[in-house]
Structure 1
Amino acid sequence: MDSSFFPADLILRSSAVFTGSEEEPHAAAVAVTSDRIIWVGDPADMPGELQGPDTEVRDFGDALIMPGFHDAHMHVFHSALYLSPLAERFVGENEADAVARLAPLAARRPAGSWLLTQGWRDYLWNPAGMPSKASLDAAYPDRPVAMYSGDAHTLWLNSCALERLGITDDTEPPAGGSYDRDEAGHLTGIVREAAAMELMPRIVAEFSTEELLDAYRSFERYLNEHGITGVCDVSLMAMPGLDFVRDDLYAQLEANDELTVRVSMFPTLLEDRGRLDELQAAHTGPLLQARGFKQFFDGVSSQHTAWVHDPYSNARFDGDCGRPTVGPEVMEALVAPAAAEGHAVRVHAIGDEAIHQCLDIFERHPVGQVLGGVAHHTIEHLENFQPADIERLARADVIASVQPRHITLDPGGPERDLGAERVPYMWPFRTLLDAGATLAFGTDSPVTDIDPLDAVYTAVTRRDADTHEPEGGWLPEEAITLAEALSAYTAGSAAAAQRAGEVGELVPGQYADLVVLSPNPFSLAPEDVQQAKVQTTYVGGKQVYEAE
């Protein structure tokens, strides 16, 4: 873009600018016209014609100017919902405490309406153990309760909820899902995987469009306050019509000039691929687009539903290796035509066998030139690897979309579930980068909070962002540098969003999505990175947040 023909609308300066293409920040100015960056360089070299009489010039001193954070893996509907007055979000100390924490929600929601929460994790409770409908029935015998687990794979329902949903002891779960039963064959109220996914749309149907729009508006503000300028809104469901990618809500916000985050939508990959075609035709603006598909290959390790090659170390039965949500041949039949049409596919694969089989499929069916650039398949989560698959992933140019805060969600859980021999190949960020792989960072919100600096802290220290444990870090040899972590959260995530070249770096021609952090995290020790705070956030050259 030739800057010699017009002055910039905005010029930002700092002694510390991280463009995303170097290891350290340096003094620079960033010039913006309309929604694009038109010039970046040493302030002493800036062409005089860039600064006109109406140009806004801001000098941020020694604060860090960098590309805006881009969350590569988020479920926006549920994230917005659980942070709104419509629901609650908590882990709880134990089963009884979790039930007790429903009281404020019950008091503010209309009589007879659903009580919906997210966040419980039975393995973190004291005492640990899977809950049942009995405790909910005692407190809420005449009101439906649905409590979604922290990993978003399991529902805990009471009897009133089961009755309202029409689930009885004789109900058969959908493929890829299950209903837990006691020794007598009666429902316990625990609903897993696809069965839980199938029920959620019916549970949230009582919320009005305006209530949901308010939740989205509030969540956008929350994102901008944390320096997030872009998100990948990925399908949470593996079933037809249940992806929760609410383009209708985004469209209303966009029409009202209330969309303050760049959104890349990834609906569920089905045999009928028409949904993506419809989304891409309907949403062509710079802030809202659909960029590919999402599917599920397995579940989660903590519930033994992630698909692993060798049985779990604490196997619950002979041959306890988890399971694929769909068979490899079914997954390949879905991926192959999508890739042939130039569509990138993102696949949830946590266990080492799911990753291995997914790589087999992606190697046979790469995706090439599309949307003006090169598209990349992506594997989501990648909790543990078969060692040789790390270099395979890099060679196949498949993006590793990972969530650093998952590393410390379950202290001792990897050792408990997978054993010491497999632990060294869990979340191996350093090894992946050294092999030449591309990392894309996100949060899997609402599974973990959206704060990017907490995730960066975990990536560079291998410690939990809340407890700062373990001392010295968990598998500290897999820690990465601050520059690498920030690049994974910007350029890497842009690649996962299929927006490489549009966002993720501070270079001429890209959208002016920027964040300013103070103090400059490069001036801090790794263990102090969380001291950096967002000062201001720009999306497309428009200021969407400014700290007081």
Structure 2
Amino acid sequence: MQADLILKSTAIFTSTGDETLAGAVAVTGGKIVYVGPVEGAGALKGPDTRVLDLGGSMLAPGFHDSHLHFFLSAIYDSPCVVFCEGRSEQDCVDALAPLAAVRPKEEWLVCHGWYHPLWADPREPSKQSLDAVYPDRPVAMTSGDLHTLWLNSKGLERLGLTPDSVPPEGGRYGKDENGQLTGLLYEAASDEALPKVFAFSEAETCSAYRAFVKKLNAQGITSVCDMSTMAGSGPDLVREDIYLRLQQAGQLTVRVHMFPTLLDDLSRPQWMRRTFTGETLRFCGVKQFSDGVSSTHTAYLKEPYSNAYFPGDRGCTVTPPETLRRLVLKAAQQGFPVRIHTIGDEAIHQALDYFEEARAKYGPLPAGQNCLEHLENFQPADIARLRELDVLAACQPPHMVLDPEGVERDLGPQRARYMWPFCTYERLGVKYAFGTDSPVVGIGSMNVLYDAVTRQSPVDGSPKGGWQPHEKITAAQALRAYTRGSAMAAGRLSELGTIEPGKLADLVVLDKNLLAIDPQEILSARVVMTLLGGEIVYQAD
């Protein structure tokens, strides 16, 4: 057998252990056929074999973002939307000016990224500041965590919302002391509005997807899990139609694993399971929400928040518990893997109860992997239950360093000790995977690894020594979570996630051996090359 490609490196990380090896990897027909000493690859070299000597550059499995929102990531990264985190409400209003100058006046002005807990005055914004500048055109400002939508009066009018409007289950319309709409839509109310706001043309959407695919490849990312963004019963934004257009044009150079919304009506997941079974575009399960986020006290806790807004403030469920239980059992009966957004400790506890009941009633999944998403704080005994129930923890290390001081204000120092417990996962044998939740944070692959290993901000290196340093992990463990772990989350470990014979040749080449450098140097590492099925889809200049 003649190999199409042979890659030599003195630092091959297969994601099956803790060390790198010196040797070669051979690829034929898009799959790995050999991993071992350089001499052994010689028998596979033919006259047409391409040989790349990478020297000391690290060769690893392609990175796999186990949780992102593709539509929003692509659109937010496009000329259709402006980004602004800002230091104030007015900063975000001012940021719209360049977009307002080029977008048609009848179309929405959209901004993403505001996060009021980090503002100098951490009060929530309102429609008044937007109305003062944009009284005659609709404006929508999505929060950095994607759980709140901030509208002006024209935007509320465009959506047909009035003080008498009834929000969807699991959602809320903000109102002032006079009962008037503030312009803020929370949780399911925001989710319901998003598809109407993001009604961009097909040409704009396809262009945004193409650009985002290239951006993923430049980060060494060869696979993603595209998660539904919709809570409750609203439509989701998993756009299989756009993926098909890109695939037909030969422009889908990342493997996409689709997780649409879990509803009572399972006809769409059933159709997608029959239809999308390919190596590049595949249906892998369904997704729902249990709770919200800690920053707005909508993550669901067993005990009240340390800085409670009112007596007994424990957050809330976005999907009513009995509804979510029914949906999980219904999906289990049909053999669908389920992934559930759970941030608060009581949301996690309840979701594990539902998985336990489903497993007792219908047995283990025939294929795929049940997962909990985010898992920011725990009732300690529930960490071991993840392993006992074979539930994978899908985590996003960059979330951990966004606002650790805010987390401790919300939960207090004792509960904070059980947040993002990566080292405990390793010790207890819990399956876990890494991703970003893009566009909540960017897709930077080195940030994912740096944050997990150092538990420090990539911006300023704070806090010194790392936040909750007892939960630090090694670079090898972080790489496994970002490759092998994410392949498990997608239910594709037999095909992806490690460098082994028989696996698809999805690979990344880094200019530094991450296992041989100081963790502080991880951020300076660069992707040299990305390969999908043995074909180069990105190469640095």
Paired letter, 1:36: K
Q: Which moved further from structure 2: 13-22 or 34-43?
A: 34-43
Match of residue 92 from structure 1: 86
1:368 maps to 2:364: yes
CA distance in 2, matches of 1:161, 1:12: 54
Residue in structure 1 matched with residue 67 of structure 2 by the alignment: 73
Shift in Å, 1:10:
0.7
1:276-329 CA-to-partner distances (Å, cap 9, x unmatched) read 111122222210010101010000011000000001111111211111122322
Match of 1:304 in 2: 297
- CA offset at residue 369 of structure 1? 5.0
For residues 216-266 of structure 1, what are the alpha-carbon distances to aligned partners after superposition, in whole Å with 9 as ceiling and x for unaligned?
000000000000000000100024452100000000111111110000000
Tell me the SS of whatever aligns to 1:46. helix
Query: Could you tell me which amino acid in structure 1 is paired with residue 364 of structure 2?
Result: G
Q: Does 1:46 align with 2:68?
A: no
CA contact (8 A) 1:112 1:142 kept: no
User: Does the residue aligned with 1:511 lie in a helix, a strand or coil?
Assistant: coil
Note if contact 1:105-1:115 (Cα within 8 Å) is conserved in structure 2. yes
Distance 1:465 1:42 in 2: 37
Equivalent residue letter for 2:444: D
**In the alignment, what sits opposite 1:187?**
181
| Partner residue in 1 for 2:190 | 196
2:148 matches 1:157: no
Distance in structure 1 (CA, Å) of the matches to 2:123 and 2:474:
38
Residue equivalent to 1:233 = 226
Among 97, 103, 115, the alignment partner of 1:121 is: 115
Number of equivalent positions: 538
Q: Secondary structure at the match of 2:268?
A: helix
1:19 is displaced (CA, Å) by 0.3
Partner residue of 1:537 out of 507, 530, 541: 530
After superposition, the C-alpha distances for 1:379-412 in whole angstroms (9 at most, x for unaligned) are 0000000011111112111100000011111131
State the match for 1:484 in structure 2.
477
Number of the residue aligned with 1:177: 171
Within the candidate set 259, 263, 269, 1:276 is matched to 269
Deviates more, 1:174-183 or 1:280-289: 280-289
Aligned counterpart, 1:265: 258
The offset of 1:331, in angstroms, is 1.3
Say which of 407, 413, 423 aligns to 1:420. Answer: 413
Which of residues 49, 54, 58 is equivalent to 1:60? 54
Per-residue CA deviation, residues 333-365 of structure 1 (Å, 9 max, x unaligned), is 111121122211000000000000111111121
Question: Hey, which bits of structure 1, 4+ residues long, moved more than 4 A?
Answer: none
Q: 2:15 — aligned with what?
A: 20
Give the stretch that moved more between structures: 333-342 or 467-476.
Answer: 333-342
Q: Would the aligned equivalents of 1:77 and 1:245 in 2 still touch at CA under 8 Å?
A: yes
8 A Cα contact 2:26 2:35, kept in partner? yes
Structure 2 residue 26 is the aligned partner of structure 1 residue 31: yes
Equivalent in the alignment of 1:388: 381
Greater CA deviation, 212-221 or 271-280?
Answer: 271-280
Matched residues in 2 for 1:529 and 1:337: separation?
Answer: 44
Q: Kindly state the Cα deviation for residue 44 of structure 1 after the two structures are TM-superposed.
A: 2.0
Q: Is 1:295 equivalent to 2:288 in the alignment?
A: yes
Equivalent-residue separation in structure 1 for 2:127 and 2:333 (angstroms): 47
Task: Name structure 1 gaps, 5 residues minimum.
Answer: 1-5
In the superposition, the TM-score normalised over structure 2's length comes to 0.98
1:528 Cα deviation after fit:
1.1
Residues 147-194 of structure 1, C-alpha deviations (whole Å, 9 max, x = no match): 000000000000010011111111111110001111111111111000
Indicate if the aligned counterparts of 1:264 and 1:290 stay in contact, CA closer than 8 A.
yes
Range 318-327 or range 76-85, more displaced: 318-327
Identity percentage of aligned residues: 52
Residue type matched to 2:385 in 1? R
Is the contact between residue 368 and residue 376 of structure 1 (CA under 8 Å) also seen in structure 2?
no
Aligned residue for 1:346, secondary structure, equals strand
* 3-state SS of 2:65 partner: strand
SS of alignment partner, residue 543 of structure 1: strand
* 2:141 is aligned with 1:147: yes
Structure 2, unmatched stretches of 5+, are none
Provide the alpha-carbon RMSD of the alignment: 1.1
Q: Mean Cα displacement is larger for which, 426-435 or 262-271?
A: 426-435
Hey, what's the Cα distance between the residues in 1 that align with 2:330 and 2:425?
A: 29
CA distance in 2, matches of 1:241, 1:264: 21
* Partner AA of 1:37 in structure 2: I
Q: Is the 8 A contact 2:255 2:279 kept in 1?
A: yes
| 1:241–1:7 Cα change, 3 Å | farther
AA of the residue aligned to 2:378: F
Letter matched to residue 256 of structure 2: V
Q: Which residue of 1 aligns with 2:322?
A: 329
Offset at residue 368 of structure 1 (A): 3.1
Query: 1:185 & 1:369 partners in 2: Cα distance?
Result: 48
